[in-house]
Structure 1
Amino acid sequence: MNKKNVLLINPPLHFDNDLPHSLDVSVPPLGLLYLASYINHYSNSLNASVIDIGAEKISLSETLKRIKKQKPFVIGLTSMTPQLQGTVELAKCLKKSFPKVKIFLGGPHISADPGFINRFRVFDYAITGEAEKTFLDSLKKLVSGKKIPRIQSSEVIDNLDSIPFPDKELIDRNKYFKRESMMFSRGCPYNCYYCS
């Protein structure tokens, strides 16, 4: 059985003449690694991989070549607020180069401002909050030809032990600081409107 490829990308802050501009804080994209590991652990029909454009210091054109080679049916982008320019730039290029590929947006910014995707029609779907289960369920529905909502709010994952450890083999660990990070808890129970 051929697995469908899901590509998760950590965009740079922005691109300067095809080159990524990112902060020099090379910390692995833990959220994407948890997401990819969850997909790879709980699905026999999907294969998730990760590209961290800033850490790998790859150009936009090189990124597009790698995407073409992987042939994903879905691309997931994460974005913190400082990455918005790079995320939108990348999504525009992805839509132009791969019009049939569905683009999901997740991460801290979209969780705080879900209406963001309505201002930029280059994103097909958005998931707010803890996306592991919701994203995998959405992917399975897309594979089976079912429709999904454009913006989805994910449920809080009460048992973090149900999420596999992040597979660090999905990234080149030499591109990052020599330290490890792990999540032992998530979020806050108070749901204040001003906090993501």
Structure 2
Amino acid sequence: MKILLIDILDNENKIQTKYYSLGLGYLVSFLPKDIREKIDIKIINNQSEKEIDFFKPDIVGLSCVSQNFNRAKEIAKFCKERNIIVIIGKGHISSIPECLDKNMDIGIIGEGEQTFSEIVEMFIKKEFTQENLKKIKGIIFHSENNLIQTQARPLISDLDSIPFPDRALLNIKKGDNFYMFTSRGCPYKCRFCFSSRFWGKVRFHSAKYVVDEIKYLIDHYKPLRITFCDDLFIADIKRLREIVELIKEQKFYKKVKFTISARANLINDNSVKLIKEMGADIVCLGLESGNETVLKFLKDDLANMQDNIAAIKYLKKYNLQVSASFIIGSPSETREQILETLDFIKKSKLDLFEINVLLPLPGTPIWEDALQKGLVSVDMDWSKLNGDFLHNYKNYIILSEKLDRYELKYLYSLFLKERKKRRFKLLIKYIFTRPKEIIFFIKNKLKRKFVH
């Protein structure tokens, strides 16, 4: 039996092609050993139909976000013409299960490890019937002319029961930048983010599990840097302290650098000391806006400009590199408020920042607002959710009630100009302080250029 897992990407989107799908790696590693021995499984991060014809899988699993759903439907149609079972998972189908295309057999809703394992086992045992599918929790499938959604699957309470993701199938090279998840979920409910809805309550890997995985990566791949992709790596300060103590006991201590994410209100002298002590040198913050009113709209009443300013100050005090993300284009945000954010960035000591124009992603409160206004629908052209505003502005869903797409494009270009200055300044600094990472960056750039 053959299974092909495909991460549906937009090859023109540099952000998407930069990362590999740990989610698919988890699906593979979670399969019981007796099942794993009976299948030939492969993971690819492109969508070549030639790959499908060459491999001739019995099952194709698609991992897909909303903006790439059009492409997922094309791949599904190609597969059904060859009588291949098609399963789809990830954020889009979990947020809007009723979007399951006629050429897709099963949609996995929410966490997929246990569900995928049960589906594969059913297929191996030749028990793949609609009656048996009804017994599997956390899926949606077609039954005649209807969609059947089964009972929700309980969350995996013990994250340590999930093995490390199978990176061997992800075709990762030694020395690459590596990514890890040490928790699932987020305790906050930002209006633009679906993480808390998709993952449910916050759950953490133990400190020991985290450090064991770091050690595994260093022993097998010798990474220059490990980035923790958690929504909030430092949310549990007790666990953070335990991770730091365990890292300090390892031979790799101070031989690998870490990038972490944090929320501004959790940054203080205590947390920053621990971040620095563990060997992290880059901290990513979701600051979102330089205007108090817009900030509270995007995040919640707990967010405030005072915390944002203090967070940068604390991190720079310990000589940490600070990167932040910002969002413009909220419904009631004015031109003046957007320029306030730009002014905040210019006056700040941020090393880097990313700028995005607000998008209504399925599973978020912003999506629900846009749905009520008729700006989106479940049968829309999903390419309109492509977040690359610079190249997609003519097709972009504009949520602003104050500015049109051309005014937003001009304001967006001002942020890009400021970002370019900071990138150049940081590049010069890196040449002298991080030559190995510069060489790796150039190699990766060349590789992506010729591959894509």
Q: Which amino acid aligns with 1:156?
A: L
- 1:183, 1:52 → 2: CA distance? 23
2:200 is matched with: 188
- 2:33, 2:163 → 1: CA distance? 7
- 1:67, 1:162 → 2: CA distance? 32
2:19 is matched with: 27
1:46 is matched with: 39
1:130 is matched with: 111
Contact 2:59 2:87 in 1 (8 A): yes
* SS of equivalent residue, structure 1 residue 115: helix
Distance 1:49 1:88, change over 3 A: same
Q: Which has the higher contact order (CA 8 A, sep 6+)?
A: 1
Distance 1:144 1:90, change over 3 A: same
Q: Which amino acid aligns with 2:118?
A: D
Q: Which amino acid aligns with 1:8?
A: L
1:56 is matched with: none
Distance 1:77 1:83, change over 3 A: same
Contact 2:49 2:75 in 1 (8 A): no
* SS of equivalent residue, structure 2 residue 168: helix
Q: Which amino acid aligns with 2:183?
A: F
Distance 1:89 1:137, change over 3 A: same
Aligned residues: 173
Tell me the CA shift for residue 40 of structure 1.
6.2
Moved runs in structure 1, 4+ residues, more than 6 A?
A: none
Contact 2:60 2:87 in 1 (8 A): yes
- 2:200, 2:117 → 1: CA distance? 23
1:36 is matched with: 28
Q: TM-score, normalised by structure 1?
A: 0.76
- 2:34, 2:110 → 1: CA distance? 19
- 2:20, 2:3 → 1: CA distance? 18
Query: 1:140 aligned to 2:111?
Result: no
Tell me the CA shift for residue 50 of structure 1.
0.7
- Identity in percent: 24
2:262 is matched with: none
- Spell out the pairing of 1:60-139 with structure 2 (5 A cutoff): 63-96=48-81, 98=82, 100-117=83-100, 120-139=101-120
* SS of equivalent residue, structure 1 residue 72: coil
- 2:21, 2:125 → 1: CA distance? 29
- 2:184, 2:34 → 1: CA distance? 21
Contact 1:80 1:109 in 2 (8 A): yes
Tell me the CA shift for residue 123 of structure 1.
0.1
- 2:32, 2:172 → 1: CA distance? 19
Contact 1:10 1:78 in 2 (8 A): yes
Contact 1:129 1:155 in 2 (8 A): no
Contact 1:110 1:126 in 2 (8 A): yes
- 1:64, 1:194 → 2: CA distance? 30
1:39-65, Cα deviation, whole Å (9 max, x unpaired): 264623233321111xxxxxx5xx233
Q: Which amino acid aligns with 2:6?
A: I
